[in-house]
Structure 1
Amino acid sequence: MKTVEAARRWRDTWLRAWPAQDVDALRSLYGEHAVFRSHPFREPRLGPDGAAGYASWAFASEEAPAECRFAEPIVDGDRATCEYWAVVRSGGSEQTIAGVSVIHVDDEGLVAFQRDYWAVEVGRRDPSDDWGR
């Protein structure tokens, strides 16, 4: 599978699975030896179960379906980056999460490595007009 196809599949799956909290759909994106880093300073989660475990942990604090959007992935070789923007309800209030995922895919189109960079702001924030470009 070409990287651009794998990156779009990753984006489309996260776009559907995050609001639905569909951990199994997310698990299917990651290769057996995948390394998943939800933040540069956290310990990595390993393999499909590690990525799914992170998602389960993160979803546990969400009190309503996330409102999320993902930009078109930018692809170079076996790497892709994708911006995301989400509003979640947690702890009784809305929070906006803006981030970027960097993924490396293997020959089968599965994520071999994912690293996320993100920021959280209390309240609902709309993205800027140039978001996702």
Structure 2
Amino acid sequence: MEQYAEDCVHRSMPFREPHRGRAAPAEYLRWSFAGERVTDVRFCAPVVGVDGVAVAEFRVLAEEDGAPSTLAGCVFVRFDAAGLAVETRDYRHTVEGRREPEGALFFG
């Protein structure tokens, strides 16, 4: 978790309380996927913008109770001058079955 600043803030949903601290993103992911068996994860190359902000699309194939599902979304990350993540935010959607995101910009 050294890639996160000590006071990192992760927002997993727009109206949910943020997860705070260096360990919070990993704790959140363990909680999120506790009932699932993740079989494949893909991230695109990030798009890096101004002010230390990067964005990347992702896709997760998983199984819950033997039923396949696909989660796809974007993660936004703001880095400090030392290159540590100080703020992260996810937007995502889940569907039943195995699917590739329609019109995904960066998966090839």
Question: So what's the TM-score if we normalise by structure 1?
Answer: 0.72
Structure 2 stretches lacking a partner, 5+ long? none
1:34 maps to 2:8: yes
Matched to 2:73, the amino acid is G
**What secondary structure, in the 3-state scheme, does the structure 1 residue paired with 2:23 have?**
helix
- Residues 9-68 of structure 1 deviation map (CA, whole Å, 9 limit, x = unaligned): xxxxxxxxxxxxxxxxxx2321101000112122110011211210110231122x4311
- Length, aligned pairs only: 106
Bigger share in strand: 2
- Partner Cα separation in structure 2 for residue 121 and residue 114 of structure 1: 23
Is residue 73 from structure 1 mapped to residue 54 from structure 2 by the alignment?
no
2:34 is the alignment partner of 1:60:
yes
Which runs of no fewer than 5 residues in structure 1 stay unpaired? Answer: 1-26
Give the whole-Å Cα distance in 2 for the aligned partners of 1:67 and 1:126: 12
Deviations 1:73-96 (A, max 9, x none): 111121000000111112321110
Does residue 1:86 correspond to 2:72, yes or no?
A: no
In 2, Cα distance between equivalents of 1:121 and 1:55: 18
- Identical-pair percentage: 35
- Summarize deviations over 1:79-121 as a string: whole Å, max 9, x none: 0000001111123211101100010001121110001000000
Letter in 1 for 2:14: P
* Residues 29, 91 of structure 1: alpha-carbon distance in 2 compared, 3 angstrom cutoff: farther
Q: Distance in 2 between matches of 1:123 and 1:34?
A: 34
Larger CA deviation: 71-80 vs 52-61: 52-61
Q: Name the counterpart of 1:103.
A: 77
Q: 4+ residue stretches of structure 1 with deviation over 4 A?
A: none
Shift of 1:132: 1.2
The structure whose residues are more often helix, as a share, is: 1
